[in-house]
Amino acid sequence: MTATLLLPRWLLTMKTGEPVQTGQAVLLEGERIAAVGAAADLMALHPNATRVELPEHVLMPGLINSHTHSAMSLLRGVADDLGLMDWLNNHIWPLEKQWVSHAWTRLGSLFSAAEALRGGVTTLNDMYFFPEAMAEAALQAGIRAAVSINVIDFPTGYASGPDDYIAKGVAAYEKYKGEKLLQFTSSPHAPYTVSDETFVKLRQLSEQHDMVMHCHIHETMDEVNGGVQQHGVRPLARLEKLGLMNERMIAVHMVHLTDDEIAMLAKNKVHIAHNASSNLKLASGIARVADLDAAGVNVALGTDGAASNNRQDMFEEIRQAALLAKGSTGQPTVVNARRALEMATIGGAKALGREADLGSIEVGKLADVIAVDLSAPECRPVYHPDAQLVYVAAREHVSDVWVQGERVLKQRQLTRFNLSQVLAEVEDTVAKMKAGQGA
């Protein structure tokens, strides 16, 4: 079995209560973390291991992007400075109806995987059509992915209706369920696009196959008010009655919440995927992250898709999560640097039901780790490496990434596929879209 010894200046394991350490090393054997300990001891015990010197780096768990739409990187910048429903109804959905296909989704997903890996993300929780295409892209890139069985109640170029979406999603799940890099989620799009009947079917699918659920909820006040008008209750109350609000649910956005709703989320152990930048750009609002955190709700972080953010940049989301919580509450001590990093690592692992395998550097866990180089002048001096990761470092400082023990980013270069070739295909596809030709 191949053994690799990582020798960083600083080690941030993200284990509860464990501070940043120096003089430590991490041994990777196969797909798992085999040892964590004093560098001198591990070098003596494993003289034949391949050594990777990381002299000015922080070694930390890979980041987990808890909500994104990978294929929509092909729509980055296509419709900016708009409200959510205008953006969806008048721009995104018409373009998707015209262009989305298996090949289009695969290309956009591979392109996003490159952006993710170069930004220190080792796991994506995706939501889009053509799940087989997303699965193919993730496996080619060597990135871990939660692939969605995505369902809405109206027809698209992908499926004719709810049962068709579910059938195609289950077929993809059956095809790929043995792949170690993949898991599948039961993913109703949102309360305003999914009926009670479909929600129940997806809840049953989740229970039958032990899947996490993944849904946009309470993103805007228009959504909440529309839910009251149509159903007589706020969307969260409707979904709770349908049996969806439990430890399986990753509720995305959750910007507009009452105190009672926060208490319900905590009681029911619902997970939140906080998408700060997208919520700001669409003027959806600022989520009550400090209150959710104080109530004991598990908050994870996501980027949303490149069509609404427009950066799939988890370092930016970590920083935004900390700063927005402070600025919106007037309390500089809430969501400190450590908490923000936890949301992007172990918080995301918990949301996906993977905390036993992911989210921290511990013996026996999967070897999903990243090295962040703090040698650049803009990253110096370094007093507190963990705070430096939140308030100073950027995704451009990620030098190396290992997923399941494989080095998929080496000194800023992807090792699994040719990024220049993918970029050329992207430019060709976008040129056809701009010209209105068939892809």
CATH of the domain at 83: 3.20.20.140
**The total number of structural domains that make up the chain:** 2
Quick one: what percent of the chain has pLDDT higher than 70? 99
Interatomic CA distance for residues 427 and 419, integer angstroms? 12
Interatomic CA distance for residues 403 and 411, integer angstroms? 15
Band (439; pLDDT cuts 50, 70, 90): very low
Nearest CA to 207 among 236, 180, 242?
A: 242
16 lies in the same domain as 144: no
Interatomic CA distance for residues 57 and 64, integer angstroms? 20
pLDDT digit string, tens, across residues 125-157:
999 999 999 999 999 999 999 999 999 999 988
22 lies in the same domain as 159: no
271 lies in the same domain as 233: yes
pLDDT for the residue 346: 98
Give the range of the structural domain holding residue 44, as residue numbers without chain letter.
Answer: 3-61+365-404
Q: Is the pLDDT at 2 greater than 70, yes or no?
A: yes
With respect to residue 381, please indicate whether it lies within any of the assigned structural domains: yes
95 lies in the same domain as 31: no
Domain boundary among 351, 386, 419: 351
18 lies in the same domain as 103: no
321 lies in the same domain as 370: no
47 lies in the same domain as 105: no
pLDDT for the residue 83: 87
Q: Mean pLDDT score of the chain, rounded to an integer? A: 96
With respect to residue 241, please indicate whether it lies within any of the assigned structural domains: yes
37 lies in the same domain as 74: no
- Which residues make Cβ contacts (< 8 Å) with residue 106, sequence separation at least 6? 71, 130, 133, 134, 136, 137
Contact of 309 with 278, CB cutoff 8 Å: yes
With respect to residue 106, please indicate whether it lies within any of the assigned structural domains: yes
27 lies in the same domain as 82: no
Over residues 205-214, mean pLDDT:
98
pLDDT for the residue 158: 94
Over residues 104-133, mean pLDDT:
98
pLDDT for the residue 437: 52
176 lies in the same domain as 123: yes
Domain boundary among 309, 326, 351: 351
Burial class (CB in 10 A: 0-12, 13-18, 19+), 326: middle
pLDDT digit string, tens, across residues 173-202:
999 999 999 999 999 999 999 999 999 999
CATH of the domain at 16: 2.30.40.10
Sign of torsion over alpha carbons 65, 138, 131, 429: positive
289 lies in the same domain as 195: yes
Contact of 160 with 191, CB cutoff 8 Å: no
Strand 21-22 vs strand 32-38: parallel, antiparallel, or unpaired? Answer: unpaired
With respect to residue 426, please indicate whether it lies within any of the assigned structural domains: no
Q: Is the pLDDT at 268 greater than 50, yes or no?
A: yes
Nearest CA to 304 among 278, 285, 337?
A: 278
Interatomic CA distance for residues 79 and 73, integer angstroms? 12
306 lies in the same domain as 200: yes
pLDDT digit string, tens, across residues 73-104:
999 999 899 888 898 889 888 888 888 999 99
Q: Secondary structure of the chain in the HEC alphabet?
A: CCEEEEEEEEECCCCCCCCCEECEEEEEECCEEEEEEEHHHHHHHCCCCEEEEEEEEEEEECEEEEEECHHHHHHCCCCCCCCHHHHHHHHHHHHHHHHCCHHHHHHHHHHHHHHHHHCCEEEEEECCCCHHHHHHHHHHHCCEEEEEEEECCCCCCCCCCHHHHHHHHHHHHHHHCCCCCEEEEEEECCCCCCCHHHHHHHHHHHHHHCCEEEEEECCCHHHHHHHHHHHCCCHHHHHHHCCCCCCCEEEEECCCCCHHHHHHHHHHCCEEEECHHHHHHCCCCCCCHHHHHHHCCEEEECCCCCCCCCCCCHHHHHHHHHHHHHHHHCCCCCCCHHHHHHHHCHHHHHHCCCCCCCCCCCCCCECCEEEEECCCHHHCCCCCHHHHHHHCCCHHHEEEEEECCEEEEECCEECCCCHHHHHHHHHHHHHHHHHCCCC
With respect to residue 430, please indicate whether it lies within any of the assigned structural domains: no
With respect to residue 409, please indicate whether it lies within any of the assigned structural domains: no
With respect to residue 339, please indicate whether it lies within any of the assigned structural domains: yes
Q: Is the pLDDT at 438 greater than 50, yes or no?
A: no
With respect to residue 126, please indicate whether it lies within any of the assigned structural domains: yes
